[in-house]
Amino acid sequence: MRPIVQISLDIVDLDEALETAHLAMRAGVDWLEAGTPMLMAHGANGVKVLREAFPDVPIVADLKIMDGGYREVEIVAKVGATHVVVMERAHPHTVREVVKAGRDFGVEVMGDNMISENLIDSAKRLEDLGCGYVIHHIGFDERRGIAASGQRMPSPLDQLREVCEAVSVPVQAVGGLTTEQAIACPSYGAPLVVLGAPLTVDDYAFKSASNNLEEIVRHICERIHAQG
């Protein structure tokens, strides 16, 4: 699979999210993500607004589904989502329902292994349950909580190669990656590169972080796509 660049729109203000999305597409981003903060603030309308503005661009709805999987997929599929996210920590029946809804509504399913006891085994379970992608994820609060206790902040790169070797579906690494770490993800075997906090979003504020964001994102996209 050729490298794909996805930008996480973890932005509450819809006008700002659209502005950032347009910037990202000009810079060479491939996929847009309706991030969890956007979905919490605006629900499925966040996906709808993105779809109306970008009729041909893949849109990931980062629902982090834990229950009621079929219905949640149906809701966002009908307003234009092409991909949805379900958590491995959900009940296996929930993951299966999300996968079934994905088939019924033409949506790809991304399984997220965040806070699983064994991240590699979690990735395997997600593939076995029918997910077409694995998100290898170290969460925002987890990273900062561990760092605040004086321990080394964990990174998705710590086990990324092992996760990629354990599954046959495409993998995406998420969780506090620096610019250089994001660019390196395809070399670990993870072709789906997501750009998010702290690179493109202000921590806690959920708004765009950098005044020269377009230049940064273009540089990243060029280097990632060159690996294809």
* Upper half-sphere CA count for residue 93 (Cβ side, 13 Å): 2
Dihedral over alpha carbons 219, 162, 155, 134 (to 10 degrees): 70
Residue with tokens 């993500």: 33
What is d(CA 82, CA 65) in angstroms, rounded to the nearest whole number?
Answer: 15
pTM of the shown model:
0.92
What is d(CA 221, CA 119) in angstroms, rounded to the nearest whole number?
Answer: 27
* Strand-pair category, 31-34 with 4-9: parallel
State the pLDDT at residue 81. 98
- Superfamily classification of domain 4-225: Aldolase class I (3.20.20.70)
Phi-psi region of 68 (alpha: psi -120 to 50; beta: other; left: phi over 0): left
What is d(CA 135, CA 22) in angstroms, rounded to the nearest whole number?
Answer: 25
Which residues lie across from 59 on neighbouring strands? 32
Exposure string of 197-216, with b = 16+ CB inside 10 Å and e = fewer, is: bebbbeeeebebbeeebbeb
Strands (E), 72-218: 83-87, 108-112, 133-137, 171-174, 192-195
Averaged confidence pLDDT in the chain: 92
* Strand-pair category, 83-87 with 31-34: unpaired
Each residue's pLDDT expressed in tens, for the chain with a length of 228 residues = 999 999 999 999 999 999 999 999 999 999 999 999 999 999 999 999 999 999 999 999 999 999 999 999 999 999 999 999 999 999 999 999 999 999 999 999 999 999 999 999 999 999 999 999 999 999 888 888 988 899 988 899 999 999 999 999 999 999 988 888 999 999 999 999 999 854 554 444 444 555 678 888 898 999 999 998
